[in-house]
Structure 1
């Protein structure tokens, strides 16, 4: 179940089927059929309150326990993610990727190496969840190159340990807007509209507003939490005071 949840959180809806390569890989690893894994992914959607559509209503008690555990302490799911990513890169090597291409693929996907610390592993998992939720596009500009995208924390990593991996504490932003967001030069109001701090120079303001970047596109799941956004706006006010 933990393995299925780790996969569910990082693949888009519409890909929960037995022909999906990642579903097949997980099925082989845990000794289940691809159909059984695909069914489990659909069942998990029934527990996901962050989405308007619901999956099948027959999620088991075990499913519910693992989901509740992830929401409070995601360590076991992160470990499952590490195993899946390690196996995926090993498979990539076996099917003919050169070492250089494999490394480039890992860097693009944010794949953690086995030697990485738990903190960096958690960050990689958080990135996967957030980018998947936003269809790997910047929520403001629509930029769709993963190398230019960041899973931006609303409440900073160092500010609140308990919220570090909260799936509603992330927004997919491009590198420029992520840097401005992290420095509280921009924020978002209750309607998810872009707010630029008054001390931002005019030319920079124009760059931040290019491509009609004035309101967040909503993710498929895990909407930005309003309480986190309120905290972020307060941090901007504090910086300006």
Structure 2
């Protein structure tokens, strides 16, 4: 039931408050499993939908569901002990499509994280290995109408890779900001030393990342702070010469010269940090 839990978290995170879509889709897929269990119709292998990992097989099931949906009361899946509206009103077919989209992304991310955990080579080899494209079946690509005119696969790949990079960075830094030790993942960021848009070869390189809480992430991104070769915090002249509030003193001036908390593996690349310093006034 791991996929159910992951799908539930995904739906709750993206659910519009009050829409009830997350709970409705979960209920629809659970009910569909019960329908199949009682009347397999060639889909006995799908009675536990949460363990089906083939989107192609789920597409076959979805087409069957649409067929039964059109039959209304005459459907073999209109069972006396399941709410009929979930099938006839299209909840089951819509939930299946939603789950297919989730599964493509979820399995892709799991694959990249396995590559990361099993890797034993160089940082550059890992970055190259993690820089893959999502394989989105044609029948699912057609659903991305809001991305018309863009490369659907590329767009989804970028978002998923960024999500995987975040998970890797938070993992190697023990979910904690490397400056403050703050260990609330929801307020921490996976910061790129060299921005995503500037260096394709290091986009997925964990040594091109820092775990920073939101304030320090913003300051690092704007070259207001950086790190020296000994991983000590350095401040730009802009911060030291133009800001003199108590908050700036507490958040920045008192941090100058302090070493960061280093990750369990993949320490920040010194050459990338040098490049970062060159873009600021330090």
TM range (shorter): 0.5 to 0.7
Residue number in structure 2 paired with 1:228? 272
Q: Structure 2 CA distance, aligned partners of 1:185 and 1:175?
A: 14
Q: Which runs of 5+ in 1 are unaligned?
A: 11-44, 51-66, 77-113
Residue number in structure 2 paired with 1:99? none
Residue number in structure 1 paired with 2:174? 135
The equivalent position to 1:194 in structure 2, one of 233, 247, 250, is 233
Residue number in structure 1 paired with 2:206? 167
Q: Deviation string for 1:119-144 (max 9, x for gaps)?
A: 11111000000000000000010101
Q: Check conservation: 2:193, 2:208, Cα contact below 8 A.
A: yes
Aligned partner of residue 262 in structure 2, secondary structure = coil
TM-score, length of structure 2 as denominator length? 0.46
How far residue 233 of structure 1 moved from its aligned partner, in angstroms, is 0.5
Does 1:214 pair with 2:253?
Answer: no
Aligned partner of residue 120 in structure 1, secondary structure = helix
Q: Deviation string for 1:221-240 (max 9, x for gaps)?
A: 11000000000010113xxx
Q: Check conservation: 1:138, 1:174, Cα contact below 8 A.
A: yes
Q: Deviation string for 1:70-92 (max 9, x for gaps)?
A: 4324244xxxxxxxxxxxxxxxx
C-alpha change, 1:210 and 1:144, in structure 2 (3 Å) is: farther
Residue number in structure 2 paired with 1:179? 218
How far residue 149 of structure 1 moved from its aligned partner, in angstroms, is 0.2
Q: Deviation string for 1:148-203 (max 9, x for gaps)?
A: 10000000112112211111100000000000000000000011010011211122
Q: Check conservation: 2:192, 2:210, Cα contact below 8 A.
A: yes
C-alpha change, 1:202 and 1:49, in structure 2 (3 Å) is: farther
Residue number in structure 1 paired with 2:26? none
Q: Structure 2 CA distance, aligned partners of 1:142 and 1:184?
A: 21
C-alpha change, 1:140 and 1:151, in structure 2 (3 Å) is: same
Structure holding more helix per residue: 2
Q: Structure 2 CA distance, aligned partners of 1:219 and 1:187?
A: 17
Aligned partner of residue 190 in structure 2, secondary structure = strand
Equivalence map 1:17-56=2 (5 Å): 48=120
The equivalent position to 2:189 in structure 1, one of 140, 150, 158, is 150
* Structure with larger Rg: 2
RMSD: 3.3
Report how many aligned residue pairs link the two structures.
150
Question: Which 4+ residue blocks in structure 1 deviate beyond 6 angstroms?
Answer: 2-5
